[in-house]
Amino acid sequence: MLKRVKRKSGHVTLSDVARACQLSVSTVSIVLSHAPLSLRLAAATRERIHATAMRLGYHPDAYARSLRNRSTKTVGVLAYDMSDPFCVPVVRGIEEGLLPANYFSLLMDAQTERRLFDSSLRMILERRAEGVIVIASWVFEEANLLADVEKNHVPIIIVGRDLTERRIPSFLVDNQAGGALAMNHLLSLGHRRIAVIRGPEDLFDSEPRWKGVQLAANRAGVHLDPRLVLSLSNRVDPISGFDGGLQLAREMVSSAPGFTAILAFDDLTALGVVRGLKKEGLRVPEDCSVIGFDDILPAAVSTPGITTIRQPLHKMGSLATQRLLEALQKADRANLSAATPDMLAPELVVRDSSAPPPTKARSRSASAALRHAPVSTPRSTPNKP
């Protein structure tokens, strides 16, 4: 039985090891932290110290160590909502970037709550993260905490949203290019009467994506029927897009049928659309094609697999990390700043939810189209091809 001194915390400390070895704390520290001095120590002593530390289950106190070293090797990661499948690959990308640099991620989940966003950021600051990566998709208010981040000279980077207006380096997908990519895919399959479900207003991505969609349509001389352009309402939680897509798809089928494809704001919306179309008796892709955006897991594993525009989420995370680490490398720790966002190229992923439009003869959708709304006549535009 060990004689057990009344202890404050249950943790084994350096001095516990030192006592057990009959050596000073300094010596033990030198050995266990592999300081250069340890080479000057008798090999036998080193051995004894290591053995004892292992036997007692010693683990250095990161808090004391960081205090002394003035370095925490920690990067705060503030995700807006970990239950959004969007966040997961980004976080993974960040962690994989951090690992080889021996940095450690302090992951906070804001759960789409403003209050939590603030307290998480405060936490990150208090825990002395050397840098912060924010994964933000919804438009968060001018958090005055961001000012505190700057006052404390903590470099910050944002993923998924453009905040270069505040000179914060931003990594995001090129939404406009993505919107165009999606539209062009449908056009190239031969679709002309295309419904669009735009994102909610409070989401940064909505506008540029829609712009890309319009641009591509205009360029091809395809008219977008206003009755077939609806918007999701502001989201309350990450998967509300599903219900939105389901609802809006059904509405469109009854109010303005005859479209042969739906371009949805994101994958969850697209999945909702598929469900809605099914309820209305339409098959995907035979009667109506569907395309999403993001390429999250559910899009890949549902049947039919959802054709979508992939955001390089993993890459966004790892690039942001790269950038942050570079800044941390520099001794001066100057605040990062950037004038233009880093826009990553989206990528079309063709799965089974998109196909050429039904031939008029045998499709329910196409016959409806003929009945209510003739295919718009292509117009040539001044744009280059």
Binding-site ranges for a second copy (CB under 8 A): 8-12, 56-57, 59-64, 66-67, 70, 72, 82-83, 85, 88-89, 91-92, 95, 104, 106-107, 109, 111, 122-123, 125-128, 147-148, 150-154, 239, 242, 268, 271-272, 274-275, 278, 297-298, 301-305, 333
Residue count of the chain? 385
Mode of pairing for the β-strands spanning 308-310 and 229-231: unpaired
3-class secondary-structure state, position 268: helix
- Of 60 and 304, CB closest to DNA: 60
Closer to DNA by CB, 12 or 195: give it: 12
Q: Is there a contact between 235 and 203 (Cβ–Cβ < 8 Å)?
A: yes
Residue 374 tokens read as: 């003739």
**9 scored as a contact of DNA (CB under 7 A):** yes
CB of 12 to DNA, least distance (A): 7
DSSP letter at 106 equals E
Measured from the CB atom, the residue of 45 and 164 that comes closer to DNA is 45
Could you tell me the strand order of the sheet in which 170-173 lies? 104-109, 74-79, 131-135, 156-159, 170-173, 342-344
Query: Do the beta carbons of residue 124 and residue 101 sit within 8 Å?
Result: no
Residue for token digits 């209305």? 280
> Residue 382 binds which one of a second copy, DNA, none, with CB within 5 to 8 A depending on kind?
none
The two three-digit tokens of residue 221, written as one number: 């001389």
**Minimum CB distance to DNA, residue 327 (Å):** 20
Nearer to DNA, 104 or 315 (CB): 104
Q: How far is the CB of 71 from DNA (least distance, A)?
A: 9
Backbone φ, ψ for residue 318 (5° rounding): -75, -35
- Applying CB under 7 A, which of residues 19, 50, 56, 60 lies at the interface with DNA? 60
The nearer residue to a second copy, 184 or 321, going by C-beta atoms, is: 321
Inter-residue contact 194 to 263 (CB < 8 Å): yes
Give the residue with the Cβ less far from a second copy, 179 or 276: 276
Torsion sign across C-alpha atoms 231, 237, 240, 242: positive
Partner interacting with residue 338 (select from DNA, a second copy, none; CB below 5-8 Å by kind)? none
Give the Cα separation of 320 and 136 in Å (integer).
13
Whichever of 47 and 148 has its CB closer to a second copy, that residue is 148
Nearest approach, Cβ of 326 to a second copy (angstroms)? 17
| Nearest distance from C-beta of residue 218 to a second copy, angstroms | 32
Count Cα atoms within 13 angstroms, Cβ side, for 273: 35
Question: Using the rule CB under 7 A, is 26 a contact of DNA?
Answer: yes
Residue 83 binds what, of DNA, a second copy, none (CB under 5 to 8 Å, by partner type)?
a second copy
Distance CA(367)–CA(358), nearest Å, equals 9
In the bound state with a second copy, the residue whose beta carbon lies nearer, of 217 and 299, is: 299
| R_g (Cα) of the chain, nearest Å | 28
Contact status: 365 vs DNA (CB under 7 A): no
Interacting residues toward DNA by CB under 7 A = 8-9, 11, 13-15, 23-27, 29-30, 32-33, 35, 37, 40-42, 45, 58, 60-61, 64-65, 67-70
